[in-house]
Amino acid sequence: MNAQSINRRKLVIANWKMHGDISSNQHLLQAVIHGLSDYQQADYVICPPNPYLFQARELLSNTKIAWGGQNVNQHDKGAFTGAVAAHMLTDLGCTYVLLGHSERRVLFNETNLTAAARFDASVKSGLTPVLCVGETLAEHEAGLTEVIVASQMDAVMATLNDQSFAAAMQVNMVFAYEPVWAVGTGKTATPEQAQAVHAFIRHRIAMRNSEAAGHVRIVYGGSIKADNAKKLFSMPDVDGGLVGGASLSADEFIAICKAAN
Protein backbone atom coordinates (compact mmCIF):
# COMPACT_ATOMS: atom_id res chain seq x y z
CA MET A 1 0.00 0.00 0.00
CA ASN A 2 1.39 3.42 -0.84
CA ALA A 3 1.14 6.36 1.55
CA GLN A 4 -1.88 7.76 -0.26
CA SER A 5 -3.97 4.61 0.04
CA ILE A 6 -3.13 4.33 3.76
CA ASN A 7 -3.98 7.94 4.47
CA ARG A 8 -7.12 7.91 2.38
CA ARG A 9 -8.75 4.82 3.78
CA LYS A 10 -12.44 5.52 3.79
CA LEU A 11 -13.66 7.29 6.93
CA VAL A 12 -17.24 7.27 8.23
CA ILE A 13 -18.11 9.64 11.05
CA ALA A 14 -21.34 9.55 13.07
CA ASN A 15 -22.56 12.96 14.23
CA TRP A 16 -25.22 12.21 16.81
CA LYS A 17 -25.90 15.93 17.35
CA MET A 18 -28.09 16.49 20.45
CA HIS A 19 -29.61 13.01 20.63
CA GLY A 20 -29.41 10.06 22.97
CA ASP A 21 -29.35 9.02 26.61
CA ILE A 22 -27.30 6.52 28.55
CA SER A 23 -29.59 3.61 27.84
CA SER A 24 -30.23 4.21 24.12
CA ASN A 25 -26.54 5.02 23.54
CA GLN A 26 -25.54 1.75 25.06
CA HIS A 27 -27.81 -0.21 22.70
CA LEU A 28 -26.69 1.78 19.68
CA LEU A 29 -22.98 1.50 20.47
CA GLN A 30 -23.17 -2.21 21.18
CA ALA A 31 -25.06 -2.86 17.95
CA VAL A 32 -22.57 -0.82 15.93
CA ILE A 33 -19.56 -2.51 17.55
CA HIS A 34 -21.05 -5.91 16.78
CA GLY A 35 -22.16 -4.97 13.27
CA LEU A 36 -18.76 -3.62 12.25
CA SER A 37 -16.52 -6.25 13.81
CA ASP A 38 -15.97 -7.95 10.44
CA TYR A 39 -15.64 -4.73 8.44
CA GLN A 40 -12.19 -3.36 9.15
CA GLN A 41 -11.33 -1.86 5.75
CA ALA A 42 -12.47 1.63 6.75
CA ASP A 43 -12.11 3.92 9.75
CA TYR A 44 -15.08 4.80 11.94
CA VAL A 45 -15.68 7.60 14.42
CA ILE A 46 -18.65 8.30 16.71
CA CYS A 47 -19.29 11.85 17.94
CA PRO A 48 -21.84 11.76 20.77
CA PRO A 49 -22.89 14.79 22.84
CA ASN A 50 -20.13 15.72 25.32
CA PRO A 51 -21.75 14.22 28.46
CA TYR A 52 -21.61 10.78 26.80
CA LEU A 53 -17.96 10.83 25.76
CA PHE A 54 -17.16 8.96 28.96
CA GLN A 55 -19.63 6.26 27.97
CA ALA A 56 -18.19 6.15 24.45
CA ARG A 57 -14.73 5.68 25.90
CA GLU A 58 -15.96 2.89 28.12
CA LEU A 59 -17.63 0.95 25.31
CA LEU A 60 -15.35 1.72 22.37
CA SER A 61 -11.94 1.50 24.05
CA ASN A 62 -11.07 -2.00 22.90
CA THR A 63 -12.61 -1.68 19.45
CA LYS A 64 -11.40 -0.19 16.16
CA ILE A 65 -14.04 2.56 16.44
CA ALA A 66 -12.77 5.98 17.51
CA TRP A 67 -14.78 8.73 19.21
CA GLY A 68 -14.70 12.49 19.06
CA GLY A 69 -16.28 15.78 20.06
CA GLN A 70 -18.86 17.73 18.07
CA ASN A 71 -17.04 20.99 18.72
CA VAL A 72 -14.22 22.46 20.80
CA ASN A 73 -13.28 25.89 22.11
CA GLN A 74 -10.11 27.60 20.97
CA HIS A 75 -9.05 28.52 24.52
CA ASP A 76 -7.05 26.25 26.74
CA LYS A 77 -8.84 27.13 29.99
CA GLY A 78 -10.57 30.03 31.73
CA ALA A 79 -13.90 31.69 32.35
CA PHE A 80 -15.71 30.34 29.27
CA THR A 81 -18.93 28.90 30.68
CA GLY A 82 -20.20 25.96 28.70
CA ALA A 83 -17.03 25.59 26.63
CA VAL A 84 -14.77 22.56 26.34
CA ALA A 85 -11.02 22.71 25.64
CA ALA A 86 -9.14 20.45 23.23
CA HIS A 87 -7.08 18.86 26.01
CA MET A 88 -10.34 17.92 27.78
CA LEU A 89 -11.40 15.98 24.70
CA THR A 90 -8.04 14.21 24.46
CA ASP A 91 -8.25 13.49 28.19
CA LEU A 92 -11.40 11.50 27.39
CA GLY A 93 -9.62 9.62 24.64
CA CYS A 94 -11.13 11.60 21.76
CA THR A 95 -9.04 11.57 18.61
CA TYR A 96 -11.37 13.60 16.34
CA VAL A 97 -13.38 16.79 16.61
CA LEU A 98 -15.95 18.34 14.27
CA LEU A 99 -15.44 22.02 13.52
CA GLY A 100 -17.39 24.71 11.72
CA HIS A 101 -20.54 22.60 11.34
CA SER A 102 -23.27 24.57 9.58
CA GLU A 103 -25.52 24.25 12.66
CA ARG A 104 -22.77 25.86 14.75
CA ARG A 105 -22.36 28.60 12.16
CA VAL A 106 -26.08 29.33 11.74
CA LEU A 107 -27.51 28.66 15.22
CA PHE A 108 -24.55 29.69 17.38
CA ASN A 109 -23.04 32.47 15.29
CA GLU A 110 -19.70 30.75 14.81
CA THR A 111 -17.56 32.20 12.06
CA ASN A 112 -14.67 31.30 9.80
CA LEU A 113 -12.49 33.08 12.33
CA THR A 114 -13.55 30.91 15.26
CA ALA A 115 -13.34 27.79 13.09
CA ALA A 116 -9.75 28.72 12.22
CA ALA A 117 -8.77 29.32 15.85
CA ARG A 118 -10.37 26.03 16.89
CA PHE A 119 -8.67 24.18 14.07
CA ASP A 120 -5.32 25.50 15.27
CA ALA A 121 -6.03 24.61 18.91
CA SER A 122 -7.17 21.12 17.91
CA VAL A 123 -4.11 20.18 15.88
CA LYS A 124 -1.82 21.55 18.58
CA SER A 125 -3.52 19.18 21.05
CA GLY A 126 -3.16 16.24 18.68
CA LEU A 127 -6.86 16.05 17.76
CA THR A 128 -7.81 15.40 14.15
CA PRO A 129 -10.09 18.27 13.10
CA VAL A 130 -12.94 17.62 10.68
CA LEU A 131 -13.59 21.05 9.18
CA CYS A 132 -17.08 21.35 7.70
CA VAL A 133 -17.59 23.62 4.73
CA GLY A 134 -20.54 24.09 2.40
CA GLU A 135 -22.92 26.52 0.79
CA THR A 136 -26.53 27.37 1.62
CA LEU A 137 -29.36 26.76 -0.83
CA ALA A 138 -29.44 30.44 -1.86
CA GLU A 139 -25.69 30.40 -2.47
CA HIS A 140 -26.01 27.13 -4.38
CA GLU A 141 -28.74 28.53 -6.60
CA ALA A 142 -26.73 31.69 -7.20
CA GLY A 143 -23.81 29.58 -8.45
CA LEU A 144 -21.62 30.61 -5.52
CA THR A 145 -20.65 27.14 -4.24
CA GLU A 146 -16.96 27.44 -5.06
CA VAL A 147 -16.72 31.03 -3.82
CA ILE A 148 -18.22 30.10 -0.44
CA VAL A 149 -16.26 26.89 -0.02
CA ALA A 150 -13.04 28.68 -1.00
CA SER A 151 -13.66 31.44 1.55
CA GLN A 152 -14.33 28.88 4.31
CA MET A 153 -11.23 26.87 3.38
CA ASP A 154 -8.98 29.88 2.97
CA ALA A 155 -9.99 31.34 6.34
CA VAL A 156 -8.39 28.31 7.94
CA MET A 157 -5.54 27.66 5.50
CA ALA A 158 -4.39 31.27 5.66
CA THR A 159 -4.24 31.41 9.45
CA LEU A 160 -2.16 28.26 9.85
CA ASN A 161 1.55 29.02 10.06
CA ASP A 162 3.97 26.40 8.76
CA GLN A 163 4.27 24.76 12.16
CA SER A 164 0.49 24.46 12.57
CA PHE A 165 0.13 23.19 9.01
CA ALA A 166 2.74 20.52 9.72
CA ALA A 167 0.83 19.60 12.91
CA ALA A 168 -2.39 19.40 10.87
CA MET A 169 -0.70 17.01 8.42
CA GLN A 170 0.62 14.99 11.33
CA VAL A 171 -2.88 14.41 12.72
CA ASN A 172 -4.33 13.76 9.22
CA MET A 173 -6.73 16.70 9.14
CA VAL A 174 -10.06 15.97 7.49
CA PHE A 175 -12.42 18.20 5.50
CA ALA A 176 -16.15 17.60 5.22
CA TYR A 177 -18.15 18.99 2.32
CA GLU A 178 -21.62 19.50 3.75
CA PRO A 179 -23.90 21.48 1.46
CA VAL A 180 -26.24 23.19 3.95
CA TRP A 181 -29.22 22.47 1.68
CA ALA A 182 -28.55 18.74 2.11
CA VAL A 183 -27.99 18.63 5.89
CA GLY A 184 -31.00 17.07 7.61
CA THR A 185 -33.25 17.80 4.62
CA GLY A 186 -33.41 14.41 2.93
CA LYS A 187 -31.89 16.01 -0.19
CA THR A 188 -28.48 14.64 -1.10
CA ALA A 189 -25.91 16.05 -3.49
CA THR A 190 -25.53 13.78 -6.49
CA PRO A 191 -22.28 11.80 -6.55
CA GLU A 192 -21.17 14.03 -9.45
CA GLN A 193 -21.97 17.24 -7.58
CA ALA A 194 -20.10 15.99 -4.52
CA GLN A 195 -17.12 14.88 -6.62
CA ALA A 196 -16.84 18.28 -8.30
CA VAL A 197 -16.72 20.15 -4.98
CA HIS A 198 -14.40 17.60 -3.37
CA ALA A 199 -11.97 17.98 -6.28
CA PHE A 200 -12.19 21.74 -5.83
CA ILE A 201 -11.42 21.41 -2.09
CA ARG A 202 -8.44 19.19 -2.86
CA HIS A 203 -7.21 21.75 -5.37
CA ARG A 204 -7.53 24.46 -2.72
CA ILE A 205 -5.41 22.40 -0.31
CA ALA A 206 -2.86 21.84 -3.08
CA MET A 207 -2.46 25.59 -3.41
CA ARG A 208 -1.00 25.48 0.11
CA ASN A 209 0.75 22.14 -0.06
CA SER A 210 0.47 19.65 -2.91
CA GLU A 211 1.71 16.70 -0.86
CA ALA A 212 -0.96 17.30 1.77
CA ALA A 213 -3.64 17.51 -0.92
CA GLY A 214 -2.91 13.94 -2.03
CA HIS A 215 -3.24 12.59 1.50
CA VAL A 216 -6.09 14.58 3.03
CA ARG A 217 -9.43 12.85 3.44
CA ILE A 218 -12.45 14.79 2.25
CA VAL A 219 -15.74 13.29 3.41
CA TYR A 220 -19.23 14.15 2.22
CA GLY A 221 -22.13 14.96 4.57
CA GLY A 222 -25.78 15.73 3.94
CA SER A 223 -28.55 13.12 4.12
CA ILE A 224 -26.29 10.12 3.55
CA LYS A 225 -28.34 6.94 3.77
CA ALA A 226 -27.70 3.26 3.26
CA ASP A 227 -29.11 3.51 -0.27
CA ASN A 228 -26.99 6.42 -1.54
CA ALA A 229 -23.71 5.80 0.33
CA LYS A 230 -22.11 3.34 -2.09
CA LYS A 231 -22.36 5.65 -5.12
CA LEU A 232 -21.11 8.67 -3.19
CA PHE A 233 -18.17 6.71 -1.76
CA SER A 234 -17.24 5.42 -5.20
CA MET A 235 -16.30 8.90 -6.43
CA PRO A 236 -12.52 9.39 -6.62
CA ASP A 237 -12.33 12.38 -4.26
CA VAL A 238 -15.00 11.27 -1.80
CA ASP A 239 -13.12 9.60 1.03
CA GLY A 240 -16.09 8.72 3.23
CA GLY A 241 -19.00 10.37 4.96
CA LEU A 242 -20.19 12.48 7.87
CA VAL A 243 -23.53 11.00 8.86
CA GLY A 244 -26.13 12.77 10.99
CA GLY A 245 -29.69 11.41 11.15
CA ALA A 246 -28.86 7.97 9.74
CA SER A 247 -26.18 7.45 12.41
CA LEU A 248 -28.91 7.17 15.06
CA SER A 249 -30.13 3.90 13.58
CA ALA A 250 -27.70 1.02 14.07
CA ASP A 251 -28.88 -0.77 10.93
CA GLU A 252 -28.62 2.30 8.70
CA PHE A 253 -25.26 3.35 10.09
CA ILE A 254 -23.78 -0.14 9.81
CA ALA A 255 -25.00 -0.39 6.21
CA ILE A 256 -23.38 2.97 5.39
CA CYS A 257 -20.13 1.83 6.99
CA LYS A 258 -20.23 -1.42 5.02
CA ALA A 259 -20.58 0.62 1.84
CA ALA A 260 -17.20 2.16 2.70
CA ASN A 261 -15.49 -1.24 2.79
Catalytic residues, by residue number, are: 101, 178
End-to-end CA distance of the chain: 16
Residue closest to 249 by CA, chosen among 228, 232, 224, 231: 224
Q: Does 120 bind ligand PGA (CB under 6 A)?
A: no
Which of 221, 228, 232, 260 forms a contact with ligand PGA (CB under 6 A)?
Answer: 221
Instruction: Choose the binding region for ligand PGA from 74-82, 122-130, 199-207, 222-230 (rule: CB under 6 A).
Output: 222-230
Nearer to ligand PGA, 149 or 224 (CB): 224
Compute the distance between CA of residue 48 and CA of residue 215 in angstroms, rounded to an integer. Answer: 27
- Least distance to ligand PGA from the beta carbon of 96, Å? 13
Q: Does 222 bind ligand PGA (CB under 6 A)?
A: yes
Number of neighbours of residue 208 by Cβ within 10 angstroms: 16
Nearer to ligand PGA, 84 or 224 (CB): 224
By DSSP bridging, strand 217-221 and strand 240-243 are parallel
* x-or-dash string of contact with ligand PGA, 164-193, rule CB under 6 A: --------------x----xx---------
Nearer to ligand PGA, 51 or 184 (CB): 184
CB contact set of 217 (below 8 Å; sequence gap of 6+): 7, 8, 9, 11, 172, 174, 175, 239, 240
Compute the distance between CA of residue 44 and CA of residue 65 in angstroms, rounded to an integer. Answer: 5
Instruction: Choose the binding region for ligand PGA from 25-33, 145-153, 158-166, 221-229 (rule: CB under 6 A).
Output: 221-229
Q: Does 15 bind ligand PGA (CB under 6 A)?
A: yes
Nearer to ligand PGA, 99 or 160 (CB): 99
Compute the distance between CA of residue 50 and CA of residue 73 in angstroms, rounded to an integer. Answer: 13
Residue closest to 43 by CA, chosen among 74, 77, 72, 67: 67
Contact 238, 219 (CB under 8 A): yes
To the nearest 10 degrees (0 to 180), the angle between helices 145-159 and 112-124 is 40
> What type of residue sits at position 16?
W
Instruction: Choose the binding region for ligand PGA from 74-82, 84-92, 202-210, 243-251 (rule: CB under 6 A).
Output: 243-251
Nearer to ligand PGA, 86 or 222 (CB): 222
Q: Does 242 bind ligand PGA (CB under 6 A)?
A: yes
| Stretch 19-78 residues interacting with ligand PGA (CB under 6 A) | none
Contact 98, 132 (CB under 8 A): yes
Give contact residues for ligand PGA (rule: CB under 6 A): 15, 178, 183-184, 221-224, 242-246
